[in-house]
Amino acid sequence: MFLGLEHTAIASPSPRTLAEWYVNHLGFRINYEYDGNYFVRAANGGMLEIIPSEGERGSNKMRDPGVRHLAIEVKDFDGAYQQLRSQNVHFVGEPYINQGNRLVFFTDCDGNLVHLIQRERPLP
């Protein structure tokens, strides 16, 4: 009956700008747009819906309640990291290894937390 996550929504003061950031920095593509809402799709089929925000942004710390980050799977961690560095992406720390997995956290143009991950072994 339940198939899984179809998309995750992010509210942005500038949805088009944020959608284009994911296109230009992470190779997503805009696959649907209506009334200022943008669906962007990753190469593996994962989707984000970027919608217009209202009001002020709340706190966005790593351990605040709620959705905390988006994880972007990569095959070539070093290449992906260097590409983002060359695009002046803001990293919130240095790359590190956790349980054999390579990670680095950064922010998109709206300040949302994102990270690259290259897993040593896929999750079960």
Instruction: Encode pLDDT of 10-23 as tens digits.
Output: 999 999 999 999 99
**Domains within the chain, CATH numbers bracketed:** 1-53 (3.10.180.10), 68-124 (3.10.180.10)
pLDDT at 111: 93
∠ CA 8-10-12, nearest 5°, is 165
Element of type H or E holding 15:
helix 15-26
Q: Across the chain, what does the average pLDDT equal? A: 94
Residues with Cβ within 8 Å of 46's Cβ and at least 6 positions away in sequence, in order, are: none
Instruction: Find out whether 60 and 69 touch, Cβ atoms under 8 Å.
Output: no
Look up residue 81 and give its DSSP letter: H
pLDDT at 68: 87
pTM of the full structure? 0.92
pLDDT at 73: 96
Element of type H or E holding 37:
strand 37-41
Q: Distance (Å, rounded) from C-alpha 73 to C-alpha 79?
A: 13
How is the beta sheet containing 96-98 ordered, strand by strand?
70-73, 113-118, 101-107, 96-98
Instruction: Encode pLDDT of 41-74 as tens digits.
Output: 999 999 999 999 998 887 877 787 778 899 999 9
Q: Distance (Å, rounded) from C-alpha 22 to C-alpha 107?
A: 11
Element of type H or E holding 71:
strand 70-73
